Amino acid sequence: MGILQLLTRKKAAVVQKDRPVPKHIAIILDGNGRWASKRGLPRTAGHAAGSENFRRIATYCKNIGVDYLTIYAFSTENWKRSQEEVSAIMGLLKQYLFEALDEMEKDHIRLRFFGDLSRLAPELQELAQKTLETSKKYDGFQTNVCLNYGGRDEIVRAARAFAQKCVAGECTPESLNEQVFSSYLDSAGIPDPELIIRPSGELRVSNFLLWQSAYSEYYFTNVLWPDFTEEELEKAIASFNRRNRRFGGV
């Protein structure tokens, strides 16, 4: 067992029962760098630990009956980081997609991507395409991986796509409403997340799911992402279940 696996090893997951579970949970995977710094490790080690933890939490979500898990893996702003860090993250994503291909065939899970993939390395784009093709065969648990994703960028791309259709004479500005606009977003056809979790203590949204989070419940915790266990997820779900969602009503 490698040092990272030892550091991230936690007790086996206990699947909780008898409580409602949000159909769509979204998570901002944050705190990898601080997790590594605290241990005197390079930031890239934090990303490796975070990626390992993502596999655990995704499996747990699938087992407790979540339909969609959306994860913020790389933002449109994250290109500002050092080339070394960006390539380490891209390498981990490649590895994840590669393994996911196998897993999808075995467990009939699906993957989808939010974000502008055109800026990613061709090899990564190809892998993403392959996982999308495989996903078409299945209808089980779905993970939405946000890659080169920004909420504002997503809205701009959607607006551009709609405008192009209008220019081509395929629709008119008057036909646009919230439902139609949603169908131009990366999340087309996917219900909005009921619960958005941000670990690591930051109290901000950082350009995540700006349109889709209009009525999401937020859960913030100081726990860093590589330390975020199944028990932490259960705490977030319990907090969600205690809330009174009014949607503007009384």
Which of 22, 31, 115, 150 binds ligand IPE (CB under 6 A)? It is: 31
Three-class secondary structure of residue 184 per DSSP: coil
Instruction: Give the Å distances, CA to CA, from 108 to 61, 62, 85, 199.
Output: 15, 11, 32, 29
| Residue 48 binds to ligand IPE (criterion: CB under 6 A) | no
Of 58, 78, 73, which is closest to residue 28 (Cα–Cα)?
Answer: 73
Is 30 an active-site residue? yes
Which of 68, 72, 113, 162 binds ligand IPE (CB under 6 A)? It is: 72
| Residue 30 binds to Mg ion (criterion: CB under 5 A) | yes
- Provide the H-helix boundaries in 80-185: 83-107, 122-135, 151-167, 178-182
DSSP state of 60: H
Task: Name which of residues 147 to 206 contact ligand IPE (CB under 6 A).
Answer: 200, 202, 204, 206
Of 81, 96, 88, 12, which is closest to residue 51 (Cα–Cα)?
Answer: 96
Q: Which does 105 bind (CB under 5 to 8 A by kind): ligand IPE, Mg ion, none?
A: none
Of 61, 134, 46, which is closest to residue 97 (Cα–Cα)?
Answer: 134
| Residue 70 binds to ligand IPE (criterion: CB under 6 A) | no
Only one of the segments 23-31, 62-70, 123-131, 155-163 lies at the binding site for ligand IPE (rule: CB under 6 A); that segment is 23-31
Task: Name which of residues 208 to 247 contact ligand IPE (CB under 6 A).
Answer: none
Q: Give residues in contact with Mg ion (CB under 5 A).
A: 30
Q: Give residues in contact with ligand IPE (CB under 6 A).
A: 28-34, 72-75, 77-78, 89, 200, 202, 204, 206
